A and B are shown apart, each in its own frame.
Chain A
Amino acid sequence: KAGVTQTPRYLIKTRGQQVTLSCSPISGHRSVSWYQQTPGQGLQFLFEYFSETQRNKGNFPGRFSGRQFSNSRSEMNVSTLELGDSALYLCASSYIDRTYEQYFGPGTRLTVT
């Protein structure tokens, strides 16, 4: 079974731009969660999608958004990038929700200059 894939793996953007990151979950997994990891704040939960609906949301501004497609693939978008958005963005998939084991992708490292 193929693991969770994320594209792109590395990205450099300029402040003010927007960015879209993609996550393909393990086949059969319907829940996709997104996380941000920074040296200062550690890992933080962004949002979770299930069956194309956002089920839970962390404490992030509205510039952070996401969606899930019918094949469970998910994208997250960050608009009007700020320097503080530089981080490793991880997605994880699980069968139904986070009471099941989560499988993490390799992450997308975003650098905002």
Chain B
Amino acid sequence: KNEVEQSPQNLTAQEGEFITINCSYSVGISALHWLQQHPGGGIVSLFMLSSGKKKHGRLIATINIQEKHSSLHITASHPRDSAVYICAVLRGTGNQFYFGTGTSLTVIP
């Protein structure tokens, strides 16, 4: 059983659409990261959350600690948002770091 589950696995959207990617986890955590990986491998950290909500430009990330769930929203999606989005959780005890399998997003012009 994966400690971190992401949905959907693949997502295709039209430019301008509102996008939501979900992450559920089964362990107690001290932090949750949302990462973006473009073709070619480079990974960029989008958000680090331990509670509440964060916003950066068109990206919004929320976390519900009680429900063990986080969402990444992209408003007014753009083709340059096409990438793999990965959720990663830092376990509260033992400091193990678990990754979701990623959501591959394609935004069509």
Q: Mask for A92-110, Cβ within 8 A of B = 1, else 0? A: 1000011111111011010
- A32 to chain B: closest CB distance in Å? 13
Q: Is A107's CB under 8 angstroms from B86's CB? A: no
Please judge, given known A-B contacts A45-B96, A56-B96, whether A109 and B41 are in contact too, CB under 8 Å: yes
Q: List chain B residues, Cβ under 8 A from A109.
A: 41
Q: Is B41's CB under 8 angstroms from A106's CB? A: yes
Q: Mask for A54-91, Cβ within 8 A of B = 1, else 0? A: 01101000000000000000000000000000001010
- Give the A-B contact count at a CB cut-off of 8 A: 59
- Is B10 at the interface (CB under 8 A from chain A)? no
- A93 to chain B: closest CB distance in Å? 11
Q: List chain B residues, Cβ under 8 A from A44.
A: 99
Number of interface residues of A (CB under 8 A): 24
User: In the complex, which of the residues B43, B95, B98, B99 contacts A48, with contact meaning CB atoms closer than 8 Å?
Assistant: B95
Q: List chain A residues, Cβ under 8 A from B35.
A: 104
Q: Is B96's CB under 8 angstroms from A58's CB? A: yes
Chain A, residue nearest B94 (CB): A56
- Is B76 at the interface (CB under 8 A from chain A)? no
Q: Mask for B74-98, Cβ within 8 A of A = 1, else 0? A: 0000000000001010100011111
**DSSP majority for the A interface?**
strand
Q: Report the Cα distance A108→B90, complex, angstroms.
A: 24
Q: Is B90's CB under 8 angstroms from A98's CB? A: yes
- Is B30 at the interface (CB under 8 A from chain A)? yes
Q: Report the Cα distance A106→B30, complex, angstroms.
A: 26
Q: Report the Cα distance A70→B105, complex, angstroms.
A: 40
User: In the complex, which of the residues A43, A48, A88, A100 contacts B48, with contact meaning CB atoms closer than 8 Å?
Assistant: A100
Q: Report the Cα distance A99→B94, complex, angstroms.
A: 13
| B interface list, Cβ under 8 A from A | 30-31, 33, 35, 41-45, 48, 50, 86, 88, 90, 94-102
